[in-house]
A = this chain, B = another copy of it.
Amino acid sequence: MVGGGQLARMTHEAGIPLGIKFKLLSDTPQDSAAQVAGEVVIGDYRDLDTLRAFARGCDVITFDHEHVPTEHLRALEADGIPVRPGPDALVHAQDKGVMRAKLDEIGAPSPRHRIVADAADAVAFAEEGDGFPIILKTVRGGYDGKGVWFVRTPEDARDPFLAGVPVLAEEKVDFVRELAANIVRSPHGQAVAYPVVESRQVDGVCDTVIAPAPDLDEELAGRAQELALRIAKELGVVGHLAVELFQTTDGRILVNELAMRPHNSGHWTQDGAITSQFANHVRAVLDLPLGDPRPRARWTVMCNVLGGDYPDMYQGYLHCMARDPQLKIHMYGKDVKPGRKVGHVNTYGDDLDEVLERARHAADYLRGTIVE
């Protein structure tokens, strides 16, 4: 697996029971996954020689992030190393321009959008629709709200072009909430769909995920799952695919983002589904039959734990574990910086309000925003 973040850490954890040999390419020995994995190579995934040397002897390569250059992935394939998801699929998660063009081609619903050349063109894009606000995004390199601008005026429209990266303009969608349709697909085309979840963001960062999405119309949920399965098939995705969606005020679903790896909106599956997204990602990458994606509880809630003012998150364990013996804490071993994702908690049960309260309390307590 290329990339030493928490997704690799949790993928390693999920792979241990399969008795597989997991090898990691990590930037530093302190990275989240590098702390806990057996075979770790330290190196830069942007360097082709490093990547090639790492891949030698691997049966298959997969990723913790989408940042490996497409041409490097093609070079690995040329070396005879299976890359899953492959470069032809992954480019849609790497480049938002390519992604939108492909979604249009296969008739998947997107917000109104087009590539814009400069600030004046962004203003023109706004005027082609309902005017400002609009969203501007660099086509590559963004995550967790970075590389995304909420643009209210022509003046606001200048910043996104400073980096020299192509910029995609999108309408500001009137949505009632954000959903995620997560599926896993294997090389021979087997696929499983997790229940559609509600994803609540704070400042552009995922904060809470509720599985399944409360009060979601069954027909709409089915449509969202079918959409994710169709996108995976048309794009040739192997492994976990997260399709982040807007549920609009007028009852439509529109694709917001795609991620081709385990995803924050699927962390609930570790404790709430029969087979976790991480276990199924590993199975798909190894071309093994996929595990049952159904939920094990009526409701499962995930809350991210962000870094706060305490450098040591560990001190909160006593209170949180004593208060809620069913609580599942997942920490990533990362240095605490204010606002940084350093872990998450999962809770489950029959009463959504109670399950939400337990998760919220634990996440806030671990961060230090509440003290009792």
Contact = CB atoms under 8 A, between A and B. Distances in A.
A355 B10 CA distance: 28
A35 interface: yes
Contacts of A9: 16
B18 A325 contact: no
Nearest to A293: B325
Interface in A223-255: none
A17 B328 contact: yes
A164 interface: no
Interface stretch (A49-57, A103-111, A140-148, A329-337): A329-337
A324 to B, nearest CB: 9
A321 B19 contact: no
> How many copies of the polypeptide does the oligomer hold?
2
A290 B325 contact: yes
A343 B13 contact: no
Contacts of A296: 296
Which of A288, A296, A322 has most B Cβ within 10 Å? A288
A311 interface: no
A173 to B, nearest CB: 35
B35 A36 contact: no
A7 to B, nearest CB: 13
B331 A18 contact: yes
A12 interface: yes
Contacts of A343: 19
B330 A17 contact: yes
A36 B19 CA distance: 9
A36 B12 CA distance: 8
Contacts of A314: 19
Interface in A192-251: none
A296 B296 CA distance: 8
A22 interface: yes
A269 interface: no
Interface string A275-308: 1000000010000111110001000000000000
A13 B292 CA distance: 21
Contact of A38 (B38, B274, B317, B328): B38
A313 interface: yes
Given A289-B321, A289-B322, A291-B325, A36 B22 contact: yes
Contacts of A35: 21, 38
A262 B36 CA distance: 20
A40 interface: yes
Name the residue in A10, A22, A38, A314 with the highest tally of chain B Cβ atoms < 10 Å from its Cβ. A38
Nearest to A37: B38
A333 B19 contact: yes
Given A38-B35, A317-B288, A318-B288, A274 B19 contact: no
Given A13-B17, A36-B37, A291-B325, 15 more contacts: A9-B16, A13-B16, A17-B328, A17-B329, A17-B330, A17-B331, A18-B329, A19-B333, A19-B343, A275-B326, A283-B321, A289-B321, A292-B325, A292-B326, A296-B296
